[in-house]
Amino acid sequence: MTSKKKNDLLTPDNPRTIITAGMVVIFLFFGVLGTWAAVFKLAGAVIASGEVRASTNRKAVQHLEGGIVKEILVQDGSRVHKGDVLIRLQGEQTRASVDLLRGQLDMHLAAEARLEAERALADEVHWPEELTSRSADPDVAAILTAEDKLFQTRRTTLESQVALIKAQIEQINEQIQGYNEQLRSTEAIIRSLEEELQAKRTLLEGRYIEKSRILELERMLASHQGRRGEILSASGQLREKSAELTLRISTMKDEFIQQATAQLTDTKARILELRERLRPLEDALARLDITAPIDGTVVNLAVHSVEGVIRPGETLMEIVPENEPLILDCKIPTQDITHVYVGQPAEVQLVAFKARTTPMIPGKVIYVSADRVLTRTPHGDMPTYVVHVEVDRAELEKHNLYLSPGMPVAAFLTTKERTILAYFTDPLLEYLRHAMREN
């Protein structure tokens, strides 16, 4: 009887056997599943959408003053180099003003050089390089010629006046030399008469001669002594006149220098004024040719008509930089910012290519904005953080892929690994932490 019961329990049709086996399978399944969920880890990711752009933004081409378009030299898609002329503006009035002031400035610069030479009593004028570099210009050459002639004329006039006075001084010196010779002769006669008179007086004491002889010698001596006085007086007057003429030369040169110095001061002030007036006009003239700030490609050209009016500060076109490194400009929700950091690995999906045949491209985060920014969306402005991702160039080349500015991308920024169980329990625990706390 007992053996029969045991056989009944082991028959496949026994429900207890089926239930027991099923329970064992269920416990084993959930046990293995729970163990796997508690042990196996998956890496999380912050999903960021964005687009490809150059590491330096597009350069907007603008004009400070605006104006009237004279010539348009580019179109959308034109490749330009830094310094290439993009648009020319009309500027006849500005050019006329610049030419007028430049001519006045050249005249004053030449006058300044001439006056510097006159003040130094130099033999020639040293022209500034600002003028000599443009000496082939007929206007500049005429200015230099006129100023040089004026310098030579004034210098010749001064030298002629000085030479005339020097000739007078030379004549006076010759007269003084003649008086000196007369003085030497007269003094010799005086010495001879004094000696003779001394001898005659001795003879007179011995009564060898008459006194009349002594008186005659004394009259002759007095006459020559008077003549010596006249010569000394005349020579002194001539020396005074020579000194006066020499002083007149010095005074004449000083007046010449003072006159040049006074004119030079006024000329320098005028040059400074002209430069201040000329500088903004030259800047405006240089800006009549609107040039490319960088190498790149023209996009969004907003000027299409010659003689059209450009407003001050208006964006005329944009230039996409050429040969600049491309980056992924992505936006992430503000609540995910704590999971993003510079150097963080990322997986990039190039949305423009077929997802089935295009692999994920590895990259890394190279920039995270310090503050949130407002990103325009179809639902209004949304606060986000800006993240820049750099992709592995070698991987792009390996899979024959490329990046182009404006291409849409999706970046998966790898976060810390969590178990499967944590993915299910973390939201529940987060909910419980906030539950039943409402007043």
pLDDT tens per residue, range 80-110? 999 999 999 988 888 888 899 999 999 999 9
| Rg value, the chain, Cα | 55
- Do residues 361 and 350 make contact, with C-beta atoms less than 8 angstroms apart? yes
pTM for the model stands at 0.53
Tell whether the model's pLDDT for residue 35 goes beyond 70: no
* Spatial distance between the Cα atoms of 426 and 97, rounded to a whole number of angstroms: 76
> Phi and psi dihedrals of 352, rounded to 5?
-70, -20
286-343 tens-digit pLDDT: 888 999 998 888 988 999 889 889 899 899 998 888 777 788 889 988 888 888 989 8
Structurally, at CATH architecture level, domain 41-55+325-434 sits in Beta Barrel (2.40)
The residues pairing with 388 across neighbouring beta strands, listed in sequence order, are 329, 367
169-200 tens-digit pLDDT: 888 888 888 888 888 888 888 888 877 777 77
Residue 372 is which amino acid? Answer: R
250-275 tens-digit pLDDT: 889 999 999 999 999 999 999 999 99
What end-to-end distance do the CA atoms of the chain give, in Å? 71
* Spatial distance between the Cα atoms of 221 and 189, rounded to a whole number of angstroms: 8
| Helices and strands per DSSP (H, E), number in the chain | 8, 15
Give helix 92-119 / helix 138-205 axis angle, nearest 10°. Answer: 10
* Banded pLDDT at 5 (limits 50, 70, 90): very low
CATH of domain 95-286: 1.10.287
**Domain covering 59-89+289-318 assigned CATH 1.10.1500.10 in the classification:** no
Supply the pLDDT for residue 33.
61
Q: Which residue has the higher pLDDT, 57 or 32?
A: 57
Nearest in space to 82 (alpha carbons), one of 297, 352, 402: 297
In this structure, what token pair is assigned to residue 52?
Answer: 């490809």
Supply the pLDDT for residue 1.
46
* Spatial distance between the Cα atoms of 142 and 426, rounded to a whole number of angstroms: 91
Interstrand relation of 345-350 and 361-368 (parallel, antiparallel or unpaired): antiparallel
